[in-house]
Amino acid sequence: MDVPASPYDIALIPSEDLAQLAIAASEDLAWLGTRFTLRDGQVFPHLSLYMANLREADIDRVKEILANLASTFPSQQLTAAAYALNRGYIDVEYTNADTLDKLKMSVIHAINPLRDGLLDHDRSSLSELTGLALENVQTYGYKYVGKLARPHMTFTRFVDENAKHVGTLPDVHAFSGSFPKLGLFALGENGTCIRKLAEWQLA
């Protein structure tokens, strides 16, 4: 019996101090009515590089590819640029540095041949996409590639997707810092990373 593919997220893992700062921000926003809260070992702070449907039979190969890539790319030092609120998601956005873009594209080009179809969200919204977004989904199964790349770390998602009030967050530059590891995660609802399958220290 053929086992259907499952959604995974290949992501950068923040340093421990940055992760704890993101968890604290997520917890502080919960009183406003949110769909999830970041938790140690349960809902992981992360910066997504590539979300894709992958077959269980290919996961060992995916891990091998990612281990090799991690050994050739340095730890990422990222600069927080702004907070963003979109469709209920509250994120901190990062400057898209050349080294980050090279790592992202290396991951996408290496893993895309193993991708099995589209994520449910992209499949259901395919008819609404145009231009580069449509081209990216058709080519990579992922919209946020190239000029549409938007490096960010999500704190939570508000139940009210039109929410404007976001409480009190630290100065955005507090979220500048190191992302020293590459991780492979099971992808949950609302773009959450709910189970860590493996992590690799960047060179």
Report the pLDDT averaged over residues 60-85: 97
pLDDT at 56: 95
Report the pLDDT averaged over residues 191-202: 98
Q: Which amino acid is at 52?
A: A
Round to the nearest angstrom and report the end-to-end CA distance of the chain.
40
pLDDT in tens, 99-152: 999 999 999 999 999 999 998 878 878 888 999 999 999 999 999 999 999 999
pLDDT at 140: 96
CB 160 within 8 A of CB 88: yes
pLDDT confidence bin for 191, thresholds 50/70/90: very high
CB 195 within 8 A of CB 44: no
* Positions of E strands within the chain: 6-13, 47-54, 76-78, 80-86, 89-94, 152-157, 177-179, 181-187, 193-201
pLDDT in tens, 20-29: 999 999 999 9
pLDDT exceeds 80 at position 3: no
pLDDT confidence bin for 2, thresholds 50/70/90: low
What is the token pair recorded at 145? Answer: 């590639």
Determine the CATH number of domain 6-120+151-201. 3.90.1140.10
pLDDT exceeds 70 at position 81: yes
What is the token pair recorded at 171? Answer: 């100065």
Looking at every residue in the chain, the average pLDDT score rounds to: 95
pLDDT in tens, 140-183: 999 999 999 999 999 999 999 998 888 789 999 999 999 999 99
Q: Which residues of 29-38 are buried (b: 16+ CB within 10 A; e: fewer)?
A: beeeebebbb
% of the chain exceeding 70 in pLDDT: 99
Decide: helix, strand or coil at residue 134: helix
